[in-house]
Amino acid sequence: MNAELSSWRDGDARVAITDFVRRVTTEGGADYVDPVDRVAVVDNDGTLWTEKPMQIEIGFILQRLAAMAEQAPELRAKQPWKAAYTDDYEWLGGAITKHYGGDDSDLKVLMGGFVQAFAGMSAEDYLAASGEYLRNGSHPTLGRAFRQCAYPPMVELLRYLEAHGFAVYIASGGDRDFIRAISDEVYGIPSERVIGSSNALAYQEDEHGAAVVYRAQPDVFDDGPVKAVRIWSRIGRRPILSAGNANGDLPMLEFTGGPSLPALRLVVLHDDEEREFAYTDGADELLERADRKGWTVISVRDDWTTVF
């Protein structure tokens, strides 16, 4: 077994990865891809680190909304401040689950609270607050520091791809600047290679000269078809390898390869109740497409020797 992927069992998923990398890096081969076109895009929540029982970023937003509700009692009867103030994780996590099922009603409410929560904050202050939360916080049920909630097999995959000439990007529905706070530290991915959702920004002069601050309105929600659009707008190339775990990743996987390049599409299946969580909610369409088109499904239970 290749030590470069030491946390992967020698099964179909690992073989698919190593075979694909061999084919696209063998000069003179039918599937050889020039290094400039070896682009990989990988989702974050549920693909690079755990997303249950609630996405880690939601906890950060929850903290901020709860503080707002503490200062302004009138907010406590209004979502999403109500859920934040009463620790209603079911409503908060359910907003994301409903989104993956095609219902964005609660997600729009949550996003509306999010943009108001950080309006006026400078990008640097947001980055610092995100970093502090991620470095000091811990997962509510796994009992692990947030920084230790990344999946070693997937981090190994990032290094494996880079060692074979791939440029690796994170393409997430999560907030771009939240992920940037720890992307290099946890994943070895520099901040400029993080593509994600974002609030609108504005230029503002201050006592230090000028700053970029958050406006009270969204910019881009990087999920579904928008993922493919953002990948092109940020990179200017199609990826030849992509990895995701939810219905919102489906357009990104379909966009991979295209008419002229080879492609490897990876789908992470959470089926390990003992070591992590077992669930398919919000991934039913993706799993059906993967089965129908022969995409590579990575079983957390069967393909990884370790989860954390």
What is the rounded distance in angstroms from the CA atom of residue 303 to the CA atom of residue 158?
Answer: 16
Give residue for tokens 């400029």: 192
Phi, psi of 178 (to 5 degrees): -65, -45
Burial 261-290 (b: 16+ CB within 10 A, else e): bebbbbbbbbbbeeebbebeebbeebbebb
pTM metric for this prediction: 0.93
Residue with tokens 């409503």, as numbered in its chain: 91
CA dist., res. 245 & res. 258, Å (int):
20
From residue 218, give the alpha-carbon distance in Å to each of 112, 115, 120, 201: 8, 6, 13, 9
Fold of the CATH domain 3-49+150-303 = Rossmann fold (3.40.50)
pLDDT tens for residues 115-138? 888 999 999 999 999 999 999 999
Residue 12 CA to residue 156 CA, distance in Å, equals 17
CA triplet 108, 150, 267: central angle to 5 degrees?
70
Would you give per-residue pLDDT tens digits along the chain (308 residues)?
445 899 999 999 999 999 999 999 999 999 999 999 999 999 999 999 999 988 899 889 889 999 999 999 999 999 999 988 998 878 877 887 787 778 889 888 988 888 888 999 999 999 999 999 999 999 988 999 999 999 999 999 999 999 999 999 999 999 999 999 999 999 999 999 999 999 999 999 999 899 999 999 989 999 999 999 999 999 999 999 999 999 999 999 999 999 999 999 999 999 999 999 999 999 999 999 999 999 999 999 999 999 99
Q: Is 266 helix (H, G, I), strand (E, B) or coil?
A: strand
φ, ψ at 34 (rounded to 5°): -60, 145
How far apart are alpha carbons 29 and 172 in whole angstroms?
Answer: 33
Question: Residue 80: is the preceding peptide bond cis (ω within 30°)?
Answer: yes
Place of tokens 């970029």: 212
**Running DSSP on this structure, what letter comes out for residue 236?**
S
The encoded tokens of residue 8 equal 């992967």
Instruction: Provide CB contacts within 8 A for 250, sequence distance 6+.
Output: 224, 244, 285, 286, 289
Domain locations in the chain as residue ranges: 3-49+150-303, 56-118
